[in-house]
Amino acid sequence: MTQSEHSRGVCHRGAAFRPAPEGTWVSRRARALLLIASVLLVLAAGSCAEGTSMDPEAVRIPYSEFRVQLEAGNVARIVARGSEIRGELESPAQTIGGTNGALVDYRRFVTHRPPFEDPELYALLRRHNVELDVQQATDLSGAWTVLLNLLPILLLLAIGFALARSMRGQGHTLTDFGRSGAKLYRKEPATAVTFDDVAGAEGAKAELQEVIEFLRNPAKFRRLGATMPKGILLVGAPGTGKTLLARAVAGEAGVPFYSITGSDFMEMFVGVGASRVRDLFAEAKRTQPSIVFVDELDSIGRLRGAGIGGGHDEREQTLNQLLSELDGFERNEGVIVLAATNRPDILDPALLRPGRFDRRVTVDLPTTSQRVAILRVHSRNKPLAPDVDLEELARSTPGFSGADLENLLNEAALNAAREGKSAIDRSDVEDARDKVLMGLKREGMAIGDEEKQLLAYHEGGHALVAMRLPRADPIHKVTIVPRGRAMGITQQLPEGEIHVYPQDYMADRLAVLLAGRASETLVFGTRTSGAEADLREATMIAHRMVSSWGMGLDLGPVSFDTEGGSVFLGEDLGRPRPYSEETASLIDREVQRLLSESLERARTILEQDRPALVAIATALAEKEELTGEEVREIVERASQHVPAG
């Protein structure tokens, strides 16, 4: 396996969640009853608390740890029940457990669903093929779990009633909690997210500044007859801070923030989605100026009537409701709709028409200097040892999103805590970066000698060819310790930001990808299944070179691109290819030629440099992990011993 860039969406969120119930219809007596009821519940729950743990072997882990394992592809199956997630890992992992902070090995785990939504969860489960079982809590212990989980809400309600009462005098209108399932963020100077929490993203911030001005003082704009766009679409890769930005806009303007996540609708009963949307807008209008935020717009706003299995009733109803709400209010009303997506290409065109989401704000992956700024923001509350260099770290993390960087620092803090350090040092940060880049190490997997040799030569092949080719990205690390799903990884990191890929860069990339296979056949005269991922990626690249980028030999500067994403994402299945069978077979032949030539190229390099290949493979088999620096030294030494000619 080789891999060069990764950008995985990770997200830890913890925003001020503050349900604010309406107090007007509740009499004083009802409030008193509610308080008594919750006190009774506390007592009852306390006496039955033992009934809630069903699996004594399961280790309680924080949700963030669960996410790390999930990202690493290490979660085998989970059962969601009430607000609890139980599950099992493919291979054991370690966590900080117990009261003394010792390391605990665990395989079965239990974690709490966070009180906020995690929009990436379902996508991650699907991506890693994790078996998901949603159980209704019906038996007695389950019922207690539910009651226990309801408890804080009931208490909050009680507190809310009291608050609502005290605030009525000041003329605040609070909103019905639970009716829309949307969260209302009220202005709270102490905890609100502001633009200071969003590092980098200067362009997006500048574009949103106008909206903030409008929300602060709608009258000023109205007097001059100016109108605002109704809908603003934030577009960008996962984890680039779209949700964060939306929240910061509300914080900056000091207006209520209603948010709702598209993927939620998919989990609901038919009809609920549409009424949720209706309620949401009704409330937003009542408390205007306000912001409505629709996160993951693509999961409801996908092209209608497309994709495998035809339409999705719930989604279409919800989408229709959203469209009619967008049409139903005037531009000068004080409600601004923000939405976020990472797939603008699959959105229903009806959403993008004028008067709907007709303004786009692009949120890009951070550049090197922006990564430094993001790292600064997230290390504000983390003690760093003097040997940690955030600028260097930013340079070595191209393609990382804000969320990846946050995750990296969090992993580093976990590392340091595990070893009982008082500050996070360089080694913690480097381990964390490798973990985020390449997945969790899977130690304890027994690998035979023969297999080890095969792996060492396979990865050694990637490494040597990457070193020898001028345009290939520098090697960061080579390892035959299984990580995530891969048995071995040759990790390359581009030197700077790359935005367009020249042909010779792609050609070198193909040769590096196929060098694993070349090395196997050269040294052992055999082919292994370990090259599967390499072949898949190489084929994909070659196909795009030929069919999209006009880099084929005989085909000329033509793009045969069908703009196709995956059919699962709602693209038309039945759409015919816009080119003939003849062209299709030409493309196939061209792809094959590119791939065989690249394999040959890799093989020639390895043959000519065999002593270096042997040296790398031997070192790898012995040490299992080599840094880029070590590989460069080994190759240099091996080359000096070769007699000239």
Catalytic residues: 459
State how far the Cα of 601 lies from the Cα of 466, in Å rounded to an integer. 12
Residue 251 near ligand ADP by CB under 6 A: no
According to CB under 6 A, which one of 184, 199, 512, 518 is a site residue for ligand ADP?
A: 199
From candidates 86, 230, 242, 462, binder to ligand ADP by CB under 6 A? 242
Binding residue count for Mg ion, defined by CB under 5 A:
1
Q: Is 379 in the site for Mg ion (CB under 5 A)?
A: no
Residue 243 in contact with Mg ion, rule: CB under 5 A: yes
Q: How far apart are alpha carbons 598 and 595 in whole angstroms?
A: 5
Q: Does 232 bind ligand ADP (CB under 6 A)?
A: no
How near is the Cβ of 393 to Mg ion at its closest, in Å?
Answer: 24
* Size of interface with ligand ADP, in residues (CB under 6 A): 21
Assess contact for 368 and 394: CB atoms under 8 A: yes
| Rg (the chain; Cα; Å) | 28
With CB under 5 to 8 Å by kind, the binding choice for 571 among Mg ion, ligand ADP, Zn ion, none is none
Neighbours of 543 (CB within 10 A): 17
Q: Looking at 329-448, list the stretches that DSSP marks H as alpha helix, in order from N- to C-terminal side.
A: 349-352, 368-378, 390-395, 402-418, 426-438
Choose the contact partner of 322 out of ligand ADP, Mg ion, Zn ion, none; CB within 5 to 8 A by kind: none
CB of 122 to Mg ion, least distance (A): 13
- The CA distance from 315 to 317, in Å, is 6
Residue of 87, 108, 95, 86 lying closest to 65 (CA atoms): 95
- Separation between Cα atoms, residue 377 and residue 370, nearest integer Å: 11
Give the residue closest to ligand ADP by C-beta: 402
Minimum CB separation from Zn ion for residue 90, in Å?
Answer: 21
Contacts 24+ apart (CB under 8 A), 217-221: 218/288, 218/289, 218/332, 218/334, 221/332
CB burial of residue 564 (10 Å; 0-12, 13-18, 19+): exposed
Give the x-and-dash track for 355-384 against ligand ADP (CB under 6 A). -------------------x--x-------
CB of 239 to ligand ADP, least distance (A): 5
The nearest distance, CB 500 to ligand ADP, in angstroms, is 24
- Could you say which of ligand ADP, Zn ion, Mg ion, none residue 365 binds, taking C-beta under 5 to 8 angstroms by partner kind? none
Question: Which range, of 71-79, 150-158, 242-250, 580-588, touches Mg ion by CB under 5 A?
Answer: 242-250
Q: How far is the CB of 342 from Mg ion (least distance, A)?
A: 8
In the region spanning residues 14 to 43, those forming contacts with Mg ion, defined by CB under 5 A, are none
> 238 vs 530, which CB is nearer to ligand ADP?
238
* Residues 181/15, Cβ–Cβ less than 8 Å: no
Write each residue from 506 to 545 as x if it is in contact with Zn ion (CB under 5 A), else as -, in one continuous string: ----------x-----------------x-----------
Using rule CB under 6 A, residue 208 touches ligand ADP: no
- Find the helix or strand (DSSP H, E) in which 608 lies: helix 581-608
Contact segment (CB under 5 A) with Mg ion among 237-245, 274-282, 443-451, 610-618 equals 237-245
The CB-of-520 to Zn ion minimum distance in angstroms stands at 9
Alpha helices in 496-550 (DSSP H): 503-524, 532-547
Angle (CA) 461 466 471, round 5°: 155
| Side-chain-facing half-sphere of 251: CA atoms under 13 Å | 20
Residue 600 Cβ, how far from Zn ion at the closest point, in Å?
17
Among 3, 9, 341, 615, binds ligand ADP (CB under 6 A): 9
Taking CB under 6 A as the binding criterion, the range among 54-62, 198-206, 328-336, 515-523 that sits at the site for ligand ADP is: 198-206
Shortest approach of ligand ADP to residue 129 CB, angstroms?
Answer: 22
Q: Which is nearer to ligand ADP, 82 or 200 (CB)?
A: 200
Q: Which does 1 bind (CB under 5 to 8 A by kind): ligand ADP, Mg ion, Zn ion, none?
A: Zn ion
75, 167, 300 from 412: Cα distances, Å: 21, 44, 36
Per partner kind, with CB cut-offs from 5 to 8 A, the member of Zn ion, ligand ADP, Mg ion, none near residue 403 is ligand ADP
Distance CA 303, CA 575 (A): 14
Q: Is 344 in the site for ligand ADP (CB under 6 A)?
A: no
Q: Which is nearer to ligand ADP, 433 or 509 (CB)?
A: 433
Cβ atoms 66, 109 nearer than 8 A: yes
Task: Indicate the SS3 state at residue 155.
Answer: helix
- Kindly state the helix (H) or strand (E) to which residue 158 belongs, with its residue range: helix 140-168
- Rounded distance between C-alpha atoms, residue 381 and residue 410, angstroms: 11
* Interface with ligand ADP, residue 300, by CB under 6 A: no
Query: Quick check: 241 binds ligand ADP (CB under 6 A)?
Result: yes
Q: Following DSSP, what letter does each residue of 341-372 receive, concatenated?
A: ES-GGGB-HHHHSTTSS-EEEE-PPP-HHHHH
Q: Which residues bind ligand ADP (CB under 6 A)?
A: 9, 11, 13, 198-201, 236, 238-244, 340, 374, 377, 402-403, 406
Q: Which residues bind Zn ion (CB under 5 A)?
A: 1, 516, 534
